[in-house]
């Protein structure tokens, strides 16, 4: 039985670890050709060592507009057109209001908002008819969380972009949606700026708020993303699919 993703080509940004890596693996196993990006030389090299032949890993900084332009140019030359993209790369620094600097704030919004916006701009001419863009937002912009004002703000901005682009690009036959992960077990939790005790407390607190009483896995997001990229989701546009074990329905 053939897969709906066979003979399709997708871009996955931030594809070397966590949710991105799970999505690359899921789509590649389904028969798609994948262009995956990463910024860390170490994780890129590790991913290349185990990549199947239908996956190309390339270095690209999600917050750098020159790198974004170079990525789009590479796709155009090497692949011509693609069928969709999972715009996933992002950072999640959690820190109190008083500790933030302008440089940190600008870096966050460069990677989480400006980069995704301009990547979408560059990708639109490269998308086949019926193409799809899926952005990675977060339930954090819905639930409110201490030390997450800047991060939640960046993801709220991205959610707004999804709404607007879903209308703007519909006339081109391009669908735009988002996946909004809740607490997912990925390496990004080690990059929140917390020590081990704080991370343990954060994990326990999140677990207590999730009705399913567990963290999700990268594969949970990968399956939802693959669905939104596919023609099975042909009449879904402008939506944000929360994959959070019921967290946003239990915020009282």
Contact 112, 137 (CB under 8 A): no
Catalytic residue at 151? yes
Cβ burial, residue 186 (10 Å; 0-12/13-18/19+): buried
Pick from 201, 179, 178: nearest CA to 189: 201
Of these residues, 10, 79, 117, 151, which one is catalytic?
A: 151
Give every CB contact of residue 15 below 8 A, 6+ residues apart in sequence: 21, 23, 24, 34, 36, 37, 38, 47, 57, 88
Q: What is the C-alpha to C-alpha distance for residues 113 and 71, in angstroms, rounded to an integer? A: 17
161, 114 contact by CB (below 8 A): no
Catalytically active residues are 151
């Amino acid at each position: 039985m053939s897969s709906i993703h066979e003979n399709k080509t997708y871009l996955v940004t931030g594809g070397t670890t966590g949710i991105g890596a799970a999505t690359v693996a899921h789509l590649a196993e389904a028969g798609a050709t994948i262009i995956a990006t990463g910024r860390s030389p170490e994780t890129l090299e590790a991913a290349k060592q185990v990549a199947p032949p239908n996956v190309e890993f390339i270095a690209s900084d999600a917050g750098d507009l020159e790198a974004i332009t170079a990525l789009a140019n590479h796709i155009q030359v090497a692949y011509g057109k693609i069928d969709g993209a999972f715009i996933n790369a992002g950072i999640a620094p959690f820190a109190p209001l008083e500790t933030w600097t302008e440089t940190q704030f600008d870096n966050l919004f460069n990677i989480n908002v400006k980069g995704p916006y301009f990547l979408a701009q560059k990708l639109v001419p490269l998308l086949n008819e019926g193409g799809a863009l899926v952005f990675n937002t977060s339930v954090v912009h819905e639930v409110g969380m201490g030390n997450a004002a800047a991060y939640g703000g960046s993801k709220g901005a991205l959610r707004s972009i999804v709404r607007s682009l879903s209308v703007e690009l519909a006339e081109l036959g391009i669908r735009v949606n988002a996946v909004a992960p809740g607490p997912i077990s990925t390496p990004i939790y080690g990059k929140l700026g917390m020590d081990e005790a704080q991370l343990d407390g954060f994990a326990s607190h999140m677990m207590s708020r999730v009705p399913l009483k567990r963290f999700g896995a990268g594969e949970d997001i990968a399956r939802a993303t693959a669905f939104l990229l596919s023609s099975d989701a042909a009449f879904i546009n402008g939506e944000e699919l929360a994959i959070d074990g019921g967290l946003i329905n239990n915020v009282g």
